[in-house]
Structure 1
């Protein structure tokens, strides 16, 4: 059985068969292992912090959640932060799929996305990094080093009850290590094909021990995609050339935690990410270089209350900017972008009774965006010389009620009022029933919205003013229902979920929607199931496997083919093995089904393929741990795309690099 794992074929049928076989083996093992007990199971259950804003065991959280810990991040051998989400069931990750502005990765849940993936909320230590201009996340501009991440919690499904609009299809919460866990000196050096990086970190404390801090700095040189597409569909119109996407990035982060007294703690963070990067569409004769500078400041005060509750106040300021002038013939365009965000949030957690816990709070946000080229009048094409402000106020709350030792209810809602679309309430109700020791059934329903971005609003307002469209731009909406199961069979953990998401008022940015007089004509229903398996095959071997199957029904309004915008099947696996205390290895496999994302081109005229075909990729990592005196180190060889597969992601002019290898040396000094 163990040998068969290495020749396991990635196909939809084998994925289902493999999952069934694993489940069967786990059930047999559970029957033979008399040492399994409920108390042992509860001790092993991971605790999640993000789903309801309450600290909860994963089997009592009101939504499906995937936890990626620091060990998984290291063993996966990922280069970009975005790539680690390929291990999450149902997640679609595309390499550098945007053709303008960011030239960055796309991370979306199930699909149904444009390159900016506006439907995912992403937080770093509670701070939103959702970009206000186009929406989505600029993954290459997040000031966080992979080695500073403690864990990542991915909520699979809408979670607006906890984090508001734009938590539309899911939430990613990146949690960094506390400075007390990163004391001393650390260095990471990477070199390989088209990729080089150096990271240095120092963690310390004051003499009294009540202040701990961490300073991390890094530089990265990334050559991006190969210039020429190997499996080009055409040699005409630039379809045989990849985008210009080289980048040189500098990064610096600082975090300090100060324990004021027995109940109060202050946390301060600062981060900077900047450098030169290219832009340039397929077929252009020269790259467009621009400078990007992004930084944030975050301050958090936290007080532990006598009843076991907690009161916290958090403020952060985010600054996103890029500068450059694109010269096209005799015309030059001001491509500058400056986006700022101020956010203040208060949160209170307490227990009204022995069987209930409550978290509630509120926040105020102010965004301001200046982008003359991108925020042009959609009719006159004249740039708006003024920055566009956005105001947001929120009130939220979640009640956890343990009606019975084996039955937990979660009731939550978010009230929001913003200056673009007005007021919305997004509720959620969920019940978790531990019907057997180690086995839980979850049922939930939640609603969520997505607020139009600055770009979408500026595009829509002139049509409304001229009476071409009769309705104001509205928020997108989703009504989501799921039934989930979590179970433990000896060494096998199972997370299974059946879902149905009904989307309405989807925003369409094309002339057909204007002709219909409605900028929110889109509707779609996505239904399916997904599973996540974690199997401790042996004392030194572990398998993590994810599978998602989805179907879409839609009238495909405004010529947007929603029915093809979600891959029917998505699979991922990571098999790790430790030979001894020095040598370890891991093998990762990913497969994504054929898909056609909304509002992307169909392909070159002489070969108009509609779908981006299904692809399969294998990565591997081999590591050697050593110790020299007081220095602990690890040398790892990482190879991505072992088979040198040349395939497309997202579009037919977006071919990720072929086989890519690099060496990484980590030293704890």
Structure 2
């Protein structure tokens, strides 16, 4: 008897035919909620147009929000993630995209994870009410280990499973200055796990948020949410911001239309203090704490393949301090220290983790043609694991240390025209030892309206704590026989780092007044990817009941090659109408593993095509209308069909400082499956049509 399985455990992927795939039933868009949204749109436009009509029915000027940031200004936007220094987007030799505060506000999203759907090249899929799978250029999963995420310079990548707990990454959305996203490797600067991309969430400085903000809302899925923030000046050199935020999100439905148990409750609070003790020095101290409850449904749980509904408590907090001294426009230094505490009690495993991180960076010119940036880092983590009967990690407590250094030389070959960037990250970790991650990048800017760049880089993903020493039992079709037959998946302490060699080419241009274009192409070669090899069945008496175990052993025998491109066009078609389009294409050229590996096919777990179109209109009388249409291709291996969805946002500012908004999300589908859960056997849910209203008061 041959048993096949597909499973993504702690970031690696396998094939299964154990659980049937459920195809969601998509209803007609003409439901009551859909009709309500359409009626609301018509009424808002009609009223706004009539209020704004002048003599002869001519419409008066709109609110002017779209002209606050011209496309010329977009090309001049400053980013820091691509080179660890502030530079124009047009001068970045990487596939960098910026989600601005205005983008977040006008999209109508209520989470950082959903805001990332605006980024070309990112695959953002909702698993249930409180979980997402987010990655770049393939290999997506709930814990996408090839994507590094930072929050104000603090790494939020978890070493337990690899990846990010997106339900815990949050703040007052109005306080986010921008989200910088690099598609492609950023390991030469940021280190291990920055393989397919880097996401850097950057909040505003405290002096940019004076006064108060109150926002509250609720709706069909977003049952209740609210934020309060207050900023105050402390003398002439310091500013303080305090905030608190609460959300209560209702459960989604499963593919059969039954109510799930994936509701989400979270409360958090924090502060940020920015000080300028001298003209050269800046000091930032900030901290956050959160406490939440996540609803989850665990399926196919041993010993009897049963289903368990549970509520997972999560708690955590962080404190960060950063000091920066600027010597000149081309010379500065910074020192950052943060401590992070996280606790979670999953149904199958619990974890408490403490992290201490120290980072030093220095930048200086060397002659007229070289700009050197270098740095040192140290990270210490300590964890305590609460194992369960059928999922456990050994040892149950462990310390890990990471030592790092990096150096980068920005070489001017032709002044203001041609730059060569050479650099590398050097790291020592407790799993694979010493690792080198170099890059070489070339940037040509014939003028301020055009730039061409190319790069070749090496990046690695180190094994996670779970991959290094886990054992997980799952059911088979023979689980009900006597003796029962279980799958036994095992990690390995002999794993090497996954490796990527990436080749990239990009072009940015302001094609004409009011039109901007960004394109990036890549060819990625992956080596030593984690797959499972199947061993010989054996009988064991523990854990209960006595059973036959079919073992799978984690090995580095997977290889793959991918290619693709990403396009983004930003156009001001009219002074009051802005249109932004993004298209992503991904192709798996080759994938293979050792002959004894469990069948493995990652190409069916990432969409081949993605399209996003966002339309923003400023109507008279301070009314805004935003439409967001998205297409996502099917995921054949996960039995997820392709889908098109539409979000609509209507907002009105009756007086200065007050905004009323009505948002409809996923209006074309009553139920749409976006991803099949691949880890710890929790039930995936469908994303349904929803509406919410919100009021925001700035004072």
Shorter-normalised TM-score: what interval?
0.7 to 0.9
Report the TM-score, using the length of structure 1 for normalisation.
0.82
Taking the TM superposition and a 5 Å limit, the aligned residue runs for 1:379-528 are 384=394, 386-404=396-414, 405-435=416-446, 438-459=449-470, 472-490=494-512, 491-509=514-532, 511=534, 519-528=555-564
d(CA) in 1 for partners of 2:493, 2:210: 57
d(CA) in 2 for partners of 1:641, 1:382: 38
Could you say which residue in structure 2 is the equivalent of 1:188?
215
Higher RCO (CA-CA < 8 Å; seq separation 6+): 2
1:95 and 2:126 are equivalent in the alignment: yes
d(CA) in 1 for partners of 2:428, 2:572: 47
Could you say which residue in structure 1 is the equivalent of 2:662?
637
1:311–1:288 CA distance, 2 compared to 1 (3 A): same
1:341 counterpart (355, 361, 374): 355
Task: Give unpaired runs (5+ residues) of structure 1.
Answer: 1-39, 233-239, 327-332, 462-467, 598-609
DSSP 3-state at the match of 2:150: strand
Equivalent residues of 1:460, 1:519 under 8 A apart? no
Could you say which residue in structure 2 is the equivalent of 1:249?
266
Richer in strand (by share): 2
Q: What is the root-mean-square deviation in Å for CA atoms of aligned residues?
A: 2.6
d(CA) in 1 for partners of 2:553, 2:688: 45
Report the TM-score, using the length of structure 2 for normalisation.
0.79
Taking the TM superposition and a 5 Å limit, the aligned residue runs for 1:236-635 are 241=258, 243-282=260-299, 286-306=308-328, 308-323=330-345, 326=347, 335-373=349-387, 384=394, 386-404=396-414, 405-435=416-446, 438-459=449-470, 472-490=494-512, 491-509=514-532, 511=534, 519-557=555-593, 558=597, 559-580=599-620, 582-596=622-636, 611-627=639-655, 632-635=657-660
Could you say which residue in structure 2 is the equivalent of 1:18?
none
Could you say which residue in structure 2 is the equivalent of 1:164?
191
Equivalent residues of 2:242, 2:270 under 8 A apart? yes
1:611–1:275 CA distance, 2 compared to 1 (3 A): closer
Could you say which residue in structure 1 is the equivalent of 2:100?
69
Equivalent residues of 1:224, 1:657 under 8 A apart? no
- Aligned-pair distance for 1:469? 10
Equivalent residues of 2:533, 2:554 under 8 A apart? no
Task: Give unpaired runs (5+ residues) of structure 2.
Answer: 1-70, 301-305, 473-489, 537-549, 678-682
d(CA) in 1 for partners of 2:621, 2:370: 45
What per-residue deviation string (whole Å, max 9, x for no partner) do you get for residues 14-72 of structure 1?
A: xxxxxxxxxxxxxxxxxxxxxxxxxx958942221111112222222121111000000
Equivalent residues of 2:532, 2:554 under 8 A apart? no
Could you say which residue in structure 2 is the equivalent of 1:236?
none
Equivalent residues of 2:239, 2:274 under 8 A apart? yes
d(CA) in 2 for partners of 1:173, 1:43: 18
Could you say which residue in structure 2 is the equivalent of 1:667?
697
d(CA) in 2 for partners of 1:278, 1:160: 35
- Aligned-pair distance for 1:256? 0.3
- Aligned-pair distance for 1:515? 7.8
DSSP 3-state at the match of 1:144: coil
d(CA) in 2 for partners of 1:353, 1:585: 52
Equivalent residues of 1:399, 1:411 under 8 A apart? yes
1:383–1:494 CA distance, 2 compared to 1 (3 A): closer
d(CA) in 2 for partners of 1:392, 1:148: 31
d(CA) in 1 for partners of 2:591, 2:690: 42
1:223 counterpart (231, 235, 250): 250
Could you say which residue in structure 2 is the equivalent of 1:115?
142
- Aligned-pair distance for 1:525? 0.6
DSSP 3-state at the match of 2:228: strand
Moved more, 265-274 or 44-53: 44-53
Could you say which residue in structure 2 is the equivalent of 1:21?
none
d(CA) in 2 for partners of 1:440, 1:354: 22
1:428–1:310 CA distance, 2 compared to 1 (3 A): same
Could you say which residue in structure 2 is the equivalent of 1:464?
none
d(CA) in 2 for partners of 1:383, 1:110: 30
Could you say which residue in structure 1 is the equivalent of 2:156?
129
DSSP 3-state at the match of 2:457: strand
1:53 and 2:84 are equivalent in the alignment: yes
- Aligned-pair distance for 1:594? 1.2
Equivalent residues of 1:441, 1:484 under 8 A apart? yes
What per-residue deviation string (whole Å, max 9, x for no partner) do you get for residues 422-462 of structure 1?
A: 0111011111112455222111111100111111111389x
d(CA) in 1 for partners of 2:450, 2:144: 34
- Aligned-pair distance for 1:596? 4.2
d(CA) in 2 for partners of 1:561, 1:156: 22
1:525–1:555 CA distance, 2 compared to 1 (3 A): closer
DSSP 3-state at the match of 1:180: helix
DSSP 3-state at the match of 1:298: strand
1:422–1:385 CA distance, 2 compared to 1 (3 A): closer
Could you say which residue in structure 2 is the equivalent of 1:150?
177
1:570–1:358 CA distance, 2 compared to 1 (3 A): same
d(CA) in 2 for partners of 1:353, 1:307: 14
Moved more, 255-264 or 168-177: 255-264
DSSP 3-state at the match of 2:236: coil
d(CA) in 1 for partners of 2:603, 2:331: 47
Could you say which residue in structure 2 is the equivalent of 1:7?
none
1:365–1:115 CA distance, 2 compared to 1 (3 A): same
1:337–1:582 CA distance, 2 compared to 1 (3 A): same
What per-residue deviation string (whole Å, max 9, x for no partner) do you get for residues 494-525 of structure 1?
A: 11111101111111256479989761111111
DSSP 3-state at the match of 1:105: strand
d(CA) in 2 for partners of 1:435, 1:260: 40
Count of aligned residue pairs for this structure pair: 583
DSSP 3-state at the match of 1:473: coil
